[in-house]
Structure 1
């Protein structure tokens, strides 16, 4: 299911309607700011003849009047900028939170295809760029357009014949700005793609730095990083060069126009078409057009860069969301935890099937281990149970309810999962076990006791309020894994999914974690992905999976006696029967 709401600037500006009072006050300030420009041009027309005549009194009066207008204008400009900044920043904040909300609903398969650095860049830099465009559109581009209209209207009022020469230049400048804008958009997209790649590499480099050092390949990583930096520099330079070229070309056209107006204006004065005072006001107004044209040109380029960012943000909004909406589905009063797979098939993007007509029954309160080579489909079974993905065909049942018809959030609250690679957010141990769920301190402690974690937590200086650093650097792997088990047990789940939870631990840590796992599995339906077969010999059932198919199911002793694929695996790991 894809998102239909495409984010564009019209959609974003429409979101500003919730800030109408602030926008109204900002708009009034903008009108006052714009009106001051033709008044200043008119005062300039009065000032020039007074200077020429040496009329000091008149000069001082006009200067005082101009000063008052300047003060009014700058006050209005401050109010305009500060008032309009609030809705623009609120819009940027709303956009970022909306995108993050959609990101959390996006199908997990598509999230895994994006690098964490790229996603972080999109939700920070790209959103900031879009917010900046909205702010400048309101605070700078709009008053610049009104300034152009007001000042040019005053110029027409003074002498419409002379204004025709100015109008001729406008389409030429507009065509140039539009042409450059298209090129800037393309160059900006390339630049942002390169910086996203750089952000992704940087994220990987920080996480993998210990491994890089261990293999002494710092030079290789530096070379790869330098290449990405160079590619970004070249793409960015291409964009900046286009922007840099646009300004002198537009500026040259403006100067040619000014010189032409001076020539025509001189002729008009000589023929009596206009007075010196009128021409002074007209020429001042003409100079006043340069600044808004420059602002509009610059902001147009930034608009194009913002469009590139919007396209990248829409790549997130257009990703398929989870098919099973958490807002729909049944919520049974009681679930015992029996799981049944009936002819279940699954394939990614209609390619070769990862799961092929699997039939499995896991009785409630029993332990089933899934064994087989990497890529056999074991993790896919976990993803199917969690409804990260849905079967291409066949059905999965929990008790007698089709999994597709069960409310997703309700289902996931029934399941606890302990992954092979422990991931814990920074925060206190209490927060790590709670994991955003409403509960009591007693429940947290109870979950920690079952997970065999309470003892070491109590020995820490701050106990349950001990802060876990990023990536859990201040705790051992065994301690983190036991916290992960406590996190899984907090909601008293009916079903427990264990993904080889001790494979990365040393013998001493594994013993502590195994004790916690044994206590955690009591009276629960448990599925275990196991690579080390020594850890699952006491499972009620063992399913051997290979190439997406179930080859054999039975207890450890039964499968050993069957002399099949499981026996081969055991022989390779030097495991015998009881």
Structure 2
């Protein structure tokens, strides 16, 4: 949980310093805007008696003066809003950017536990709500507070006894607003949590629609979705009901207060404490307090909702971050890639070990296949090499340099991966291969050629400028996989990780991808995860892993000549092939 102090919007005050120029000019405009209110109350005090005695010339003169003051005030209000909008929107923009930057540094194992729909909701809806609170605080709440101070100061000047009598209402209204605010905060937290759950379910559902249809379970998922929608409606309705109740209650107290002030004012006039012109100004000033009080009440409720959103945003900061050693550590210069796993152990949090005393010595340019049952730890080894996670014990060295002491950017340049599930961002094919890096067109084409992708790309209407739609729906699985291979080998990494790169392809696509992989693997140290053992028989080393431990190591021929897990698995697969 985030502490209240950490959750406070006061944390954004230092962010206003770079915008001091706009804030100063905005503050001057705000001052002019606020000063106009007592002036208008003074003019109202002169206008009402003038109307009473029927002095048309004086009425017109006062109306013209009031119009001039109104014009000045509205110009000042426009300047204030424009000048103060920039800094407030900039702060909310920086908040969203900073949080997304932190999101990219969260440890992968923690990131995988977060719902993508929930994260999207936090960085959109929650960030927008926080930005709105920041904007309203600077642009609306602050002027309202100064308006209250200026107008009430003028009321004290007119009749301090009558002005102090109005303060009787202040504690009552404050208690009501505070009580409602706390209840609104709790209701908003529950409502926003429910929306996040709904967003997560919606995201999963959209991705799984073909699967849902394939199994004919549309009604089941619709029912599941309906339950979440109903829960969201109830949570949101509770929040809106509190807001709806607050306005009439506070409004009734305000109306009661005004009537009491009128009665007290009549008593003060009768006793000579104030004349009719002074009371007219006083009452006009009193009416000028209603609007800022209403604004502050509304803004306070939005602040409470904004605090719930801010709390959810700042929870991202509590997630464990990757060690950032961009400015320290060794830089890999050598193209050699000798890799040694020395008694490497790993476990997630306080759970059981999923990697147990792994010892491996891999020579530069060799091909290593990791095989074994699902959940044996093969993907964890990939995560250790990419330094998504860190060993609990033991070391992994490249060229006798501990992986933990190497700059993380150099690791990611040295080691590249072709994942099992192809993830290509929408954009042109050239952009998909380049993937945010700064390689030249010639280098991109060369990478595509090595990946056996250049031919089909060239045959497209727009060649490398062909647009890849979301989730790559306008390309085949084999084409997407070859683009993924080209992306991986662009920049000439010396270590290549292949995670079941052909497992989801048909025979023709697999041949095309295997050709690309064979070309991409030349001259590199390659790790292959494969359940289909026919794809790894040419590997220099085959490492059979079970329950996080190495059971057997050797070439295909060596392991087949022995009785063991690898030979048993091969025989099972060959039997299955024959049976098919």
TM-score by length of 2: 0.97
For 1:269, the equivalent position in structure 2 comes to 269
For 1:70, the equivalent position in structure 2 comes to 70
Residue deviations 1:459-489, cap 9 Å, x none?
1111111111100001000000000000011
| Stretch moving more, 48-57 or 214-223 | 214-223
Residues 265 and 279, structure 1, Cα contact 8 Å, conserved in 2: yes
Query: CA separation in 1, counterparts of 2:479 and 2:428?
Result: 14
Residue deviations 1:337-392, cap 9 Å, x none?
11111111100112100111111121110001000111100000000000000001
Instruction: Please report how far the alpha carbon of residue 6 of structure 1 lies from its aligned counterpart in structure 2 after TM superposition.
Output: 5.1
Query: CA separation in 2, counterparts of 1:454 and 1:418?
Result: 18
- Structure 1: where are the runs of 5+ without partners? none
For 2:379, the equivalent position in structure 1 comes to 379
Residues 426 and 469, structure 1, Cα contact 8 Å, conserved in 2: yes
For 1:157, the equivalent position in structure 2 comes to 157
For 1:141, the equivalent position in structure 2 comes to 141
For 1:514, the equivalent position in structure 2 comes to 514
SS in 2 for 1:543: strand
Query: CA separation in 2, counterparts of 1:391 and 1:449?
Result: 37
Residues 451 and 520, structure 2, Cα contact 8 Å, conserved in 1: yes
Residue deviations 1:21-67, cap 9 Å, x none?
11111111111111111111111111111111111111111111111
For 2:226, the equivalent position in structure 1 comes to 226
Asked if 1:246 corresponds to 2:246, the answer is yes
Residue pairs, 1:430-449, within 5 angstroms: 430-449=430-449
For 1:202, the equivalent position in structure 2 comes to 202
For 1:455, the equivalent position in structure 2 comes to 455
Instruction: Please report how far the alpha carbon of residue 499 of structure 1 lies from its aligned counterpart in structure 2 after TM superposition.
Output: 0.2
Residue deviations 1:111-147, cap 9 Å, x none?
1111111111111111111110010001100000011
For 2:185, the equivalent position in structure 1 comes to 185
Instruction: Please report how far the alpha carbon of residue 245 of structure 1 lies from its aligned counterpart in structure 2 after TM superposition.
Output: 1.2
Asked if 1:484 corresponds to 2:458, the answer is no
Query: CA separation in 1, counterparts of 2:271 and 2:412?
Result: 87
Instruction: Please report how far the alpha carbon of residue 335 of structure 1 lies from its aligned counterpart in structure 2 after TM superposition.
Output: 3.9
Residues 181 and 301, structure 1, Cα contact 8 Å, conserved in 2: yes
Query: CA separation in 1, counterparts of 2:59 and 2:323?
Result: 75
Query: CA separation in 2, counterparts of 1:325 and 1:318?
Result: 20
Residues 534 and 575, structure 1, Cα contact 8 Å, conserved in 2: no
Query: CA separation in 2, counterparts of 1:280 and 1:546?
Result: 89
User: Relative to structure 1, is the Cα distance of residues 524 and 6 closer, same or farther in structure 2, using a 3 angstrom cutoff?
Assistant: farther
Query: CA separation in 2, counterparts of 1:100 and 1:487?
Result: 24
For 2:504, the equivalent position in structure 1 comes to 504
SS in 2 for 1:340: strand
Query: CA separation in 2, counterparts of 1:348 and 1:176?
Result: 49
Instruction: Please report how far the alpha carbon of residue 575 of structure 1 lies from its aligned counterpart in structure 2 after TM superposition.
Output: 6.8
Query: CA separation in 1, counterparts of 2:524 and 2:104?
Result: 28
For 2:213, the equivalent position in structure 1 comes to 213
Instruction: Please report how far the alpha carbon of residue 7 of structure 1 lies from its aligned counterpart in structure 2 after TM superposition.
Output: 6.4
Query: CA separation in 1, counterparts of 2:350 and 2:140?
Result: 50
For 1:422, the equivalent position in structure 2 comes to 422
For 2:535, the equivalent position in structure 1 comes to 535
Residues 127 and 309, structure 1, Cα contact 8 Å, conserved in 2: yes
Query: CA separation in 2, counterparts of 1:279 and 1:154?
Result: 12
SS in 2 for 1:361: strand
SS in 2 for 1:183: helix
Residues 426 and 470, structure 1, Cα contact 8 Å, conserved in 2: yes
Residue deviations 1:60-95, cap 9 Å, x none?
111111111111111111111111111111111111
For 1:323, the equivalent position in structure 2 comes to 323
SS in 2 for 1:558: helix
SS in 2 for 1:261: helix
Residues 325 and 408, structure 1, Cα contact 8 Å, conserved in 2: yes
Residues 133 and 303, structure 2, Cα contact 8 Å, conserved in 1: yes
Query: CA separation in 1, counterparts of 2:225 and 2:283?
Result: 54
SS in 2 for 1:105: coil
Instruction: Please report how far the alpha carbon of residue 151 of structure 1 lies from its aligned counterpart in structure 2 after TM superposition.
Output: 0.6
Residue deviations 1:243-272, cap 9 Å, x none?
111111111111111111111110111111
Query: What is the aligned-residue RMSD (CA, Å)?
Result: 1.4
Query: CA separation in 1, counterparts of 2:327 and 2:173?
Result: 53
For 1:121, the equivalent position in structure 2 comes to 121
Instruction: Please report how far the alpha carbon of residue 324 of structure 1 lies from its aligned counterpart in structure 2 after TM superposition.
Output: 4.9
Residues 324 and 387, structure 1, Cα contact 8 Å, conserved in 2: no
Instruction: Please report how far the alpha carbon of residue 518 of structure 1 lies from its aligned counterpart in structure 2 after TM superposition.
Output: 0.8
Residues 144 and 296, structure 2, Cα contact 8 Å, conserved in 1: yes
Residue pairs, 1:84-123, within 5 angstroms: 84-123=84-123
For 1:551, the equivalent position in structure 2 comes to 551
Instruction: Please report how far the alpha carbon of residue 14 of structure 1 lies from its aligned counterpart in structure 2 after TM superposition.
Output: 2.0
Query: CA separation in 2, counterparts of 1:442 and 1:161?
Result: 84
For 1:397, the equivalent position in structure 2 comes to 397
Query: CA separation in 2, counterparts of 1:562 and 1:181?
Result: 74
Give the 4+ runs in structure 1 shifted more than 3 A. Answer: 5-8
Residues 7 and 307, structure 2, Cα contact 8 Å, conserved in 1: no
Residues 6 and 317, structure 1, Cα contact 8 Å, conserved in 2: no
For 1:413, the equivalent position in structure 2 comes to 413
Residues 324 and 404, structure 1, Cα contact 8 Å, conserved in 2: no
Query: CA separation in 1, counterparts of 2:350 and 2:338?
Result: 29
Query: CA separation in 2, counterparts of 1:7 and 1:367?
Result: 51
- Structure 2: where are the runs of 5+ without partners? none
Residues 499 and 529, structure 1, Cα contact 8 Å, conserved in 2: yes
Count of matched residue positions in the alignment of Structure 1 and Structure 2? 573
For 2:346, the equivalent position in structure 1 comes to 346
Query: CA separation in 2, counterparts of 1:134 and 1:294?
Result: 18
For 2:525, the equivalent position in structure 1 comes to 525
